[in-house]
A = this chain, B = another copy of it.
Amino acid sequence: MTSHTPETTWNALTLHWQQLADLGGIGSLLGWDQSTFLPVGAAGGRARQQALLAGIVHERATDAAYGRLLDDAQAHTDWTSVQARTLALARRQFEEATRLPGTFVQEFTQHVGESYSAWVEARPANDFTRMVPYLERTLELSLQAASYFPEFASPMDYFIDQSDEGMTAEVVDRVFDDLRAALVPLVEAVAQAPEPRTDFLHRFYAPDVQLRVGGRIAADFGYDLTRGRQDLTAHPFMTRLGGQDVRITTRVREHDLTEALYSTLHETGHALYEQGVAPELLGTPLGGGVSSGVHESQSRLWENLVGRSRAFWAAYFPAFRDAFPEQLSDVTEDEMYRAVNVARRSLIRTDADELTYNLHVITRYGLERELLAGRLAVRDLAQAWHAAYETTLGLRAPSDVDGVLQDVHWYGGGIGGAFQGYTLGNVLSAQFHAAAQRALPGLEAQVARGAFSELHGWLRDHVYAPGSTYTPAELVQRVTGEPLTVGPYVAYLRGKYTALYGVG
């Protein structure tokens, strides 16, 4: 009856994608407002609005007519490579949304909600035993979720692929093994060295001045405030509310100079990625960052490889001295650089520094691997945690509160894929940064002048503009000339920390 030319199919798909993107933006607004300005009494009503919108999004994302459009498109073979990639990602998202039965999703959601509520009580009570049956069920449900995607070699492969398309457990294992082998002795050596002074980081720093200075640096990096904004929140994040609306949020602590600064630079990195996506891709499946690893690489690149560099402090120490003349009266530029790079072995992931952070991630990833493979029982998880920390960080938590009970991820979500992206991001941050250094010979001198337009422009052209046009692996290969590899990251950390601590 109706003629489905490739063009009409494509146009209908384009319209549908734009609507899905717009609904996604509305959902992001509900979440952004919830985390910034929502009156305390309105939490329940907001949750109901979010559930209603999620239902509408799910309806449209799984719409049978949309599925037929995707089938029509698949029957056609004459697409450009960008169109073919767009269709492949759309298909991927469609399968993700349709294969899990509604009743299963409901059961999983409800279980996770109950598990989270139990954890909120069990954690302060140091009661891992109470959480065992919850986690056992979570593990079962996670395995069941993975079973709907039999094309993956293992459940872990499925979970990794969800956030890092195309990545496999085998690759992550190898990367993490290499990284651990390099990091453990470096961390050990740094632990023996004397610590730099950090006392001045904990003087009183007026929150509004902290925000002003951090916001200025974000703008210097290239964050466009005509298409974004910065607000206060409890747990900082970056969020896309629309094609031209990418916002960051920040937490400020009066007696911590680094909290607001580095969370601002971190979220700015995420935001630069999203703001840099080519306009013509916005509102399509290609119109956003391609994977959690690549996303985290950009937050970490700007936070750490730029923001914790010696050159950065050459550029900005004067601004901090101007903003906080009394608090920094007895501090040198070099002392500041050393203080923001202090490395200490510790028990808590979220407090960990740049150097030791990855060992926390690798530990959790290893435990997830064992749980999903059936080689570790949930009831033995707490002891396995302690054992892994002793091996990797040489520390043992005095209780499960600072051990297996510390992170919300397993208790308020599924088991699998929650952690590896952080460290993949760190590895990639150095790999991308090394490529930028090769392409921009004067980079360090530019950073030391607070001039970021070349670095930002290069990253925008090579990493940001393509959005999800290439798979993560293709992107890494194109931009750096090699596949994912720990070499640049290990070299970066080794060079930085041996110089800082006089070790190695």
Q: What residues make up the interface of A, taking CB atoms closer than 8 Å to B?
A: 18-19, 22-23, 25-26, 29-30, 33, 37-42, 44-46, 48-49, 52-53, 56, 224-229, 231, 241-245, 247
Tell me, in angstroms, the Cα distance from A44 to B133 when the chains sit together: 50
Q: 20 extra interchain contacts, Cβ-Cβ under 8 A, other than A25-B45, A39-B229?
A: A22-B45, A22-B49, A25-B49, A26-B26, A26-B49, A29-B33, A38-B245, A39-B245, A39-B247, A41-B224, A41-B244, A42-B241, A42-B242, A42-B243, A42-B244, A42-B245, A45-B242, A45-B243, A45-B244, A56-B56
Contact sample, A vs B, 24 pairs, CB 8 Å cutoff: A22-B48, A22-B52, A23-B52, A25-B45, A26-B26, A26-B30, A26-B49, A26-B52, A26-B53, A37-B229, A39-B227, A40-B226, A41-B224, A41-B226, A41-B244, A41-B245, A42-B241, A42-B242, A42-B243, A42-B244, A42-B245, A45-B245, A46-B245, A56-B56
What's the least CB distance linking A240 to chain B, in Å?
Answer: 10
The interface residues of chain B lying within 8 Å CB-to-CB of A226 are 39-41
Select one of B40, B42, B44, B52 contacting A19, CB under 8 A.
B52
Tell me, in angstroms, the Cα distance from A19 to B37 when the chains sit together: 23
Q: Which chain B residue lies CB-closest to A44?
A: B244
The interface residues of chain B lying within 8 Å CB-to-CB of A18 are 48
Tell me, in angstroms, the Cα distance from A39 to B229 when the chains sit together: 7
What's the least CB distance linking A77 to chain B, in Å?
Answer: 32
Q: Which chain B residue lies CB-closest to A27?
A: B26
The interface residues of chain B lying within 8 Å CB-to-CB of A245 are 38-39, 41-42, 45-46
Q: Which chain B residue lies CB-closest to A242?
A: B45
Tell me, in angstroms, the Cα distance from A42 to B247 when the chains sit together: 11
Tell me, in angstroms, the Cα distance from A30 to B28 when the chains sit together: 11
The interface residues of chain B lying within 8 Å CB-to-CB of A41 are 224, 226-227, 244-245
Select one of B30, B37, B227 contacting A42, CB under 8 A.
B227
Tell me, in angstroms, the Cα distance from A39 to B25 when the chains sit together: 14
Tell me, in angstroms, the Cα distance from A33 to B26 when the chains sit together: 11
The interface residues of chain B lying within 8 Å CB-to-CB of A23 are 52
Known: A49-B25, A52-B22. A39 touches B225 (CB 8 A): yes
Closest 3 pairs between A and B when the two form their complex, measured CB to CB: A45-B242, A42-B245, A41-B227
Q: Name which of A26, A225, A243 has the most chain B CB atoms within 10 A of its CB.
A: A26
Tell me, in angstroms, the Cα distance from A450 to B55 when the chains sit together: 47
What's the least CB distance linking A22 to chain B, in Å?
Answer: 5
Q: Which chain B residue lies CB-closest to A275?
A: B41
The interface residues of chain B lying within 8 Å CB-to-CB of A242 are 42, 45-46, 49
The interface residues of chain B lying within 8 Å CB-to-CB of A48 are 18, 22
Tell me, in angstroms, the Cα distance from A44 to B227 when the chains sit together: 11
Select one of B26, B29, B56, B244 contacting A39, CB under 8 A.
B244
The interface residues of chain B lying within 8 Å CB-to-CB of A25 are 45, 49
The interface residues of chain B lying within 8 Å CB-to-CB of A225 are 39
Q: Which chain B residue lies CB-closest to A26?
A: B49
Tell me, in angstroms, the Cα distance from A7 to B46 when the chains sit together: 27
Q: Which chain B residue lies CB-closest to A226?
A: B41
What's the least CB distance linking A211 to chain B, in Å?
Answer: 15
Tell me, in angstroms, the Cα distance from A12 to B342 when the chains sit together: 60
Q: Which chain B residue lies CB-closest to A24?
A: B49
What's the least CB distance linking A17 to chain B, in Å?
Answer: 13
Tell me, in angstroms, the Cα distance from A48 to B283 when the chains sit together: 11
The interface residues of chain B lying within 8 Å CB-to-CB of A53 are 26
The interface residues of chain B lying within 8 Å CB-to-CB of A42 are 227, 241-245
What's the least CB distance linking A303 to chain B, in Å?
Answer: 23
Tell me, in angstroms, the Cα distance from A26 to B44 when the chains sit together: 14
What's the least CB distance linking A204 to chain B, in Å?
Answer: 21
The interface residues of chain B lying within 8 Å CB-to-CB of A45 are 22, 25, 242-245
Q: Which chain B residue lies CB-closest to A60?
A: B56
